[in-house]
Amino acid sequence: MSGRFDVTDFTRDVLVRSATVPVLVDFWASWCGPCKMLGPVLEKLADEANGRWTLVKVDTDRHQDLAAEYAIRGIPDVRLFHGGKQIAQFSGALPEPHLRRWLEENLPSPTRAALDQARAALAAGRFAEAESLLTPLAVERPGDRDVIALLARAIVFRDPDAALARLQGLAGDDVDLVRSFALVLKIRAEDLQESSARTPLLAGLAELRAGRFAEALRLFIAAMEESVRYADAAAKRACLAIFKHLGTHHPITLEFHRRFSMAAT
């Protein structure tokens, strides 16, 4: 059975259909040279997919309204839809190996869904939930670096040493983040000298272990305002790790970053 369809009704053929199966939309035209190279490859892969995803072709000359609606600036332009929404896109004619890799990286799957749920749980401070999602994946995919690094991020808040042990031999931004958290989370009260920064730093660490990032940042910044360099700049390092963990556009990052910058100077 062919996995290719020419669009007749975009809402039905793409948006509604993508609720049950991912739909790859190829915006093309008969006069477009790169389209003639990419189109047959897409059709071949759609046939091979055996129903895992569907290809819908949109001739931009015949469907200028759709080309305008989706702001098509050049062709070929390929969009992947799932659940009624666009989830990925590329322009130009990719070679077949690159196209296969792009599809594998972007097509929804149970593993990808679990990873997305785990990332959302981590960002919300629900570490036990993230760990429960990631532990079976780590058993199924023992060599998957992304799974291992995410699981270490979930574990580090309750057991920094166990998280570090999982990262043996690995490198990368996620690994560096776990190590940053581990260094500050291993701080104990008996390790700290007396200082006006001591109480807010310890309170911030307790909030961090509980996944309450906003309160942790408030306390760490309070510690920085007393002494930025206290405990080898632990409060500053903790703030930077939280910002990296949440991302630059997270509401909590946006709320606290300016105050952090002022305290860090």
- Rounded to whole angstroms, how far apart are CA atoms 173 and 183? 15
Biggest CA-to-CA distance, the chain: 75
32 annotated active-site: yes
Find how far residue 18's CA is from the centre of its chain. 22
- Rounded to whole angstroms, how far apart are CA atoms 121 and 134? 11
Q: Which residues contact 88 (CB under 8 A, 6 or more apart)?
A: 79, 80, 102, 106
Q: Which of 35, 175, 184, 201 is catalytic?
A: 35
35 annotated active-site: yes
Q: Which of 14, 23, 24, 32 is catalytic?
A: 32
Q: Which residues are catalytic?
A: 32, 35
